[in-house]
Chains A and B, each alone.
Chain A
Amino acid sequence: MTTFQSVFASFLSGDGELYRILGLTVCMTLLSTGFSVLAGFPSGALLASSSFPGKKLLRRIIQTFMGLPPVVAGLFVFLLLSRKGPLGDLSLLFSLPAMVIAQFLLIFPIITSLTLSAIESKQSAIRQTISTLGLPRYKMYLLMLWECRRSLLTVILTGFGRALSEVGAVMMVGGNIQGKTRVMTTAIMLETGKGNFGTAIAMGLVLLILAFIVNIIANHFQEAVYE
């Protein structure tokens, strides 16, 4: 139990290493969720309001990718960025950008699919009203997203939670390098591998608390936006 307390103590006292890990975790998660939302919201809105041959098939494909195994995504990105791979010259392997890329592959389908579902029900009524108002297309999508904002907030949280808890892909393409790509989840794996179970559990709790805080902030937003 003493390692437990020592982890929290060192955390509260501002121990550099733990802060670095936490900082990297938050940075990576915000970036992957951010990019996924920036790409996923418009994609979902666009898909919801268009109909074209093969839409059903495309929808099934996206839903399948929602369940993409993280290690598969990790392997794919690894091979892509490896020195022998097509993008090897960019020297991106074992870096924060690599982790963000792998996470984006995992989270973008989730956000797109959930956004599509959220907007579907309202899109036809909105489109009918907007149709002759002469508004540009992007404005219509913005309005759709705004009208479904409550569900969309949950969508963002889902993506965020996924990114925060990811370990397989992040380990493969990040490399768990101390100070550079070590995030909470991979650090927990390392400590567990070392046998420092107390430390690992303590870090796990810190991660949970972080997720909890994010949820509180999000709820705050919901209240504000509701009124």
Chain B
Amino acid sequence: MIKRSLITHARKSTVLITIALLVLLPACRQAAADTTSAVDTSIALTSSQADESVPETTSMDTTALITEAVVPEPENPIVRLSTTTSVSDSGLLPVLEEIFEKNTGYDLEIIANGTGAAIKLGESGDADVLLVHAKASEDEFVTAGYGVERIPFMHNYFVVAGAAEDTAKVAECQDALSAFAAIADAEAPFISRGDDSGTNKAELKIWENAGITPSGDWYISAGKGMGPCLIMAGEMKAYILTDKATFLATKEETELQICLGESGDLKNTYSLIAVNPDKNQGVNSEGAQAWIDFMLSDEAGAIITDFGLEEYGEPLFFYDGAPSIT
């Protein structure tokens, strides 16, 4: 009797394991297929780029139509882009990534971190190209030889966001300095990134210029990314310095308002930096250059300028393109 129950148990488990494997196997195959089909589709479409009315087709169909030479698959197809959480939280990159991958056949891997780590990845050769917005750190990076060249290409503005109540009356202030002073005076809750990020450094600069050392229970140093900090500000009805893009992206969730909009002292510039291949092994400088070329192209410019227009009624980023050579 014991023997019989053992056999049925064994049979049951075999059936369950087989079912589990059958479910998981297609998932693995799908993942593999995605990467290969992406390359297939890109090859197919590159050859037909001249004709803009080419409809979206599957890799199977277009490959069958190709008769001319196609763009060769790049030798090292993976381009590692190291960027900051603010950029990632705004939602801009996936849009650009899709077009880039279609156009060039590269596979873009986006790694988002705090500014400090994002730059560190460039130093250690764990990334091929950077997209960050902390001028001082960027200059250091290039001077030390880790980066080839700093290419500022787009900007937006920081804004001071807060709850609708605006207890410190920031809306009546003219610029960032007075806004921060008002907040400090009222000891209204203020959330700082506290993580040496580009946004954090900009915030600290403003305190410095205003001659205030923020301290006390009202000044909250949360070591988190821009999105999570905004959510925290929404929860605690606190003020926060944020880039407009991430603010708009999380506006619905946080129910915050812009208390102080764009002003001269709140400009936030984004730059591209190719990682120097001479400092580390395995850096994909062709891929990095392909990304930079794409980002400086008109196509990318159009995408960036349009981004967010429909959803928020205003652009999230202002495209500058390649810096003029003087």
Contacts and interface: CB of A to CB of B under 8 A. Distances in A.
Interface in A171-225: 171, 175-180, 182, 186-187, 189-190, 192-197
A94 B119 CA distance: 29
B131 to A, nearest CB: 16
A193 B113 contact: yes
Given A82-B235, A94-B232, A94-B236, A178 B223 contact: yes
Interface string B110-146: 0001111111100000000000000000000000000
Nearest to A189: B223
B232 A193 contact: no
Given A178-B194, A193-B195, A186 B223 contact: yes
A55 interface: no
B156 interface: no
A91 to B, nearest CB: 9
Interface string A34-71: 00000000000000000000000000000000000000
Interface residues of A, number: 22
Interface string B194-234: 11100000000000000000000000111111001000101
A156 interface: no
B223 A193 contact: yes
Interface string B62-85: 000000000000000000000001
A178 B117 contact: no
A190 B115 CA distance: 11
A196 B123 CA distance: 13
A190 B232 contact: no
Contacts of B228: 175
A180 B195 CA distance: 16
Contact of B114 (A82, A175, A194): A194
Contacts of A195: 113-114, 116-120, 196
A186 B117 CA distance: 15
A170 to B, nearest CB: 12
A93 interface: yes
Given A176-B224, A178-B223, A193 B235 contact: no
A193 B221 CA distance: 15
B222 A193 contact: no
Contacts of A177: 220-222
A83 interface: yes
A196 B113 CA distance: 12
8 A-B pairs closest in CB distance = A193-B114, A195-B116, A190-B223, A195-B120, A194-B116, A178-B221, A195-B117, A176-B223
18 contacts: A83-B235, A93-B235, A94-B236, A171-B224, A175-B232, A176-B224, A177-B220, A177-B221, A182-B223, A189-B223, A190-B224, A193-B85, A193-B113, A193-B116, A193-B223, A194-B195, A195-B113, A195-B196
Interface of A: 82-83, 93-94, 171, 175-180, 182, 186-187, 189-190, 192-197
Interface of B: 85, 113-120, 194-196, 220-225, 228, 232, 234-236
